[in-house]
Amino acid sequence: MSQSMLHELAGSCLSSVEFVHDYIQFHFQGPSLSTFTLPSVKSVVGYLSAADDGHRDALCSQVGSEVEEVVPTREELTVRFAGSVAFIVSLRDEDTRGPEAIHYIAKDGTQIVV
């Protein structure tokens, strides 16, 4: 996955988090990111997986926060926010629950499916 396709998230704020049946949609100022592999949340307080109490609250607490950096690798996508919080989506085959882990729609309509 090319970081250049996701770089536009840096500097934008998370506008909303939508929990849709078995996946999550994150809306930013224009782009959106659907995660079919549920993200973990890493912060200075600790690490929360989707099964942990407080996971949804931790995701929603970033609404209004600015994205500092997006780091895609072969194994995961990390979205780092101001305040040392990161959403981490595994891209490993053994963690996916369907044919794709993420679906990204850029401001210009370009799409990435991984």
Say what percent of the chain tops pLDDT 70.
96
Q: Which CATH code is given to the segment(s) 3-113?
A: 3.20.190
Give me the sign of the Cα torsion angle 58, 110, 8, 107: negative
Say what percent of the chain tops pLDDT 90.
85
Instruction: Provide the residue ranges of all domains of the chain, joining segments of one domain with +.
Output: 3-113
Give the confidence band of 5 by pLDDT, cuts at 50, 70, 90. confident
At residue 4, the pLDDT reads 67
The mean pLDDT of 88-114, rounded to a whole number, is 92
Give the confidence band of 77 by pLDDT, cuts at 50, 70, 90. very high
